[in-house]
Amino acid sequence: MAPPPLTVIHLNGPINSGKTTIGVALARVLPDARFIDGDDHDAPEDAPFDVQWAIALERLVTQITHARERHLVIAYPIGEAEFERLRAACDARGARLCVVTLAPPEGIASSNRGSRALTDWERNRIAEMYREGYASRPFSQMVLDTSNAAPDACAARIAQHVAATEP
């Protein structure tokens, strides 16, 4: 019997919405799963955003192309163009793409959560990301307010959604 096809769960959302923390927790509860932090892209930190995003996106596409796991959990904010590129990469290898947008209220995302102390730049970028729609992407299969549940509980809800929508 062939192994189950790859499912890519992409956690989208603004800075400080919980993508990395919940992504790590989600990869622990899903069978045969690996977590990829999109911020670990090896692009120069002083490179313009569009250059960093292009490098990050190509790294994610490569990871999707070569993944051997049943579940790949990716944490990185995306827009429509990035979604289309990820969807094409998934389609090319017969993988399922499930985008989950993490969307705490902006005031919560702009506050220090857990052990993370936000910089002024991050606070300004969070406000910009909410204006740009990162917390409400129309291509999301699920939008989750992460302000009222622990990361493990959020991960469990996402895992239930993924399981319930598997073909």
Structure confidence by residue, pLDDT tens digits, 85-102: 999 999 999 999 999 999
Q: How far apart are the C-alpha atoms of 11 and 135, rounded to whole Å?
A: 11
Band the pLDDT of 41: cuts 50, 70, 90: low
Question: What is the pTM assigned to this prediction?
Answer: 0.93
**Domain CATH for 50:** 3.40.50.300
**DSSP class of 146:** G
Q: Is residue 2 included in any domain, yes or no?
A: no
Q: Is residue 19 included in any domain, yes or no?
A: yes
Range of the domain at 60: 7-164
Q: Is residue 36 included in any domain, yes or no?
A: yes
Q: Is residue 88 included in any domain, yes or no?
A: yes
So what's the pLDDT on residue 3? 61
Q: Is residue 137 included in any domain, yes or no?
A: yes
Query: 34, 33, 53, 31: which is closest to 44 by C-alpha?
Result: 53
Q: Is residue 104 included in any domain, yes or no?
A: yes
Least confident piece of the model among 3-7, 19-23, 70-74, 88-92: 3-7
So what's the pLDDT on residue 107? 95
User: Number of structural domains, the chain?
Assistant: 1
Query: What's the whole-number average pLDDT of the chain?
Result: 93
Q: Is residue 1 included in any domain, yes or no?
A: no
Band the pLDDT of 39: cuts 50, 70, 90: confident
Q: Is residue 76 included in any domain, yes or no?
A: yes
